């Protein structure tokens, strides 16, 4: 249950107000940036990062034997929160995670709109052909992208775009599709940096569950959810996991993904030093999980083979490479898991 700030003792109330101020201040956290670029002959071992870019939150979708990665593209030396950074949702693809093609950006900010500040943190998924979606997009729709858009004031909302080929994208004409305005539990404002980002969609039967990063009114960070049957009309379901207010940064719960594991559900999320996993019987209720790996963020499920998951992360910063994409393998034994990073082509080959 989200508390009102007035319910806390005065000292803690002040701390929580300070944390909200920090988490809505565009100048509080500086993004690390790469001082030099190092090419590599083994992107699996050393990580893939496009020349001139800093790859951050991303999504992976497979089509016709090729893996397409859509990612936040930060230009080197730019600030991750300032509106003068020309963010793109960029696009690269590969068949084997060794040889990569970098394509034209999928989306970029649009002046004078709700997403005039920047775009980023996409999630792309395949859909069955639908007359409704085809009519909305004005073309056959095979893929949907839910993404984060920021206004010039850095207010975050979620938008939607459609594609038939993963190259050409058409925005939904009544974007944004979701923002936590007027929700009694959420701290969100149109006038300053506000948290509503990192979308992920899980389809269960006839409904879609949308997960996203949010901030509660009591300063506790959370992952929240909404549901829809048509991808257009969304109903708030509130927080599905939260972590107690703390003093360590980064404080938010970010980059959530939820995937089925037999009759259970696995939530992965980024918090503090790395990526965490939580297993639950209920896709709308999770407890704080167990640390999967330190130093790697924004896990995405690439492919499943039996009890093994091929997953991808980005590594935020090294002296030589920033924002590089790495692969790893999670092995499940019931709800217990083990993890190892992929070191070369042989580790990835069984999943291709």
Quote the pLDDT of residue 332.
97
Phi, psi of 34 (to 5 degrees): -80, 130
pTM comes to 0.88
Contact (Cβ atoms closer than 8 angstroms) between residue 47 and residue 56: no
pLDDT digits (tens, 9 = 90+) for 152-168: 898 999 999 999 999 99
Mean pLDDT computed over 200-223: 95
| pLDDT surpassing 60 at residue 34 | no
Give 241-266 pLDDT, tens digit per residue: 998 876 666 678 999 999 999 999 99
Sequence-distant (≥ 6) Cβ neighbours of residue 249 within 8 angstroms: 22, 29
Complete domains list, the chain, with CATH = 52-351 (2.115.10.20)
Contact by Cβ (8 Å): 313, 321: no
Over residues 69-126, the pLDDT tens digits come to 999 887 655 555 555 555 789 999 999 999 999 998 899 888 899 999 889 999 999 9
Q: What is the pLDDT of residue 211?
A: 98
Q: How far apart are CA 137 and CA 140, in angstroms?
A: 8
Q: Taking the CB of residue 45, how many other CB atoms lie within 10 A of it?
A: 16
pLDDT at 188 (0 to 100): 95
Q: What is the pLDDT of residues 302-323, one digit of tens each?
A: 999 999 999 999 986 554 556 7
């Amino acid at each position: 249950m989200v508390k009102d700030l007035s319910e806390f003792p005065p000292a803690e109330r002040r701390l929580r107000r300070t944390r909200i101020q920090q988490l809505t201040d565009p100048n509080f956290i500086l993004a690390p940036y790469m001082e030099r670029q190092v090419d590599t002959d083994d992107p699996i071992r050393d990580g893939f990062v496009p020349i001139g870019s800093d790859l951050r939150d991303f999504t992976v979708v497979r089509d016709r034997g090729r893996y397409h990665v859509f990612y936040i593209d930060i230009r080197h030396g730019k600030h991750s929160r300032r509106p003068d950074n020309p963010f793109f949702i960029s696009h690269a693809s590969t068949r084997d995670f060794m040889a990569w093609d970098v394509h034209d950006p999928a989306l970029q900010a649009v002046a004078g709109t709700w997403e005039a500040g920047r775009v980023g943190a996409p999630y792309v998924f395949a859909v069955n052909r639908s007359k409704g979606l085809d009519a909305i997009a004005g073309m056959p729709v095979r893929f949907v992208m839910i993404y984060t858009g920021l206004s010039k004031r850095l207010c975050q909302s979620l938008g939607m775009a459609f594609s038939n080929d993963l190259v050409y994208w058409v925005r939904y004409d009544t974007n944004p599709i979701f923002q936590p305005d007027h929700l009694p539990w959420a701290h969100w404002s149109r006038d300053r940096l506000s948290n509503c980002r990192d979308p992920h969609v899980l389809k269960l039967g006839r409904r879609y569950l949308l997960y996203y990063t949010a901030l509660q009114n009591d300063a506790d960070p959370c992952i929240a959810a909404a549901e829809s049957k048509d991808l257009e009309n969304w109903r708030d379901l509130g927080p599905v996991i939260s972590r107690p207010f703390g003093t360590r940064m980064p404080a938010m719960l970010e980059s959530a993904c939820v995937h089925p594991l037999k009759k259970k559900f696995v939530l992965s999320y980024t918090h503090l030093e790395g990526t965490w996993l939580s297993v639950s019987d209920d896709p709308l209720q999770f407890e704080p999980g167990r640390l999967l790996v330190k130093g790697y963020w924004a896990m995405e499920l690439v492919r499943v083979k039996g009890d093994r998951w091929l997953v991808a992360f980005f590594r935020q910063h090294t002296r030589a490479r920033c924002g590089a994409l790495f692969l790893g393998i999670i092995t499940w034994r019931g709800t217990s898991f083990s993890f190892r990073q992929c070191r070369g082509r042989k580790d990835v080959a069984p999943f291709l």
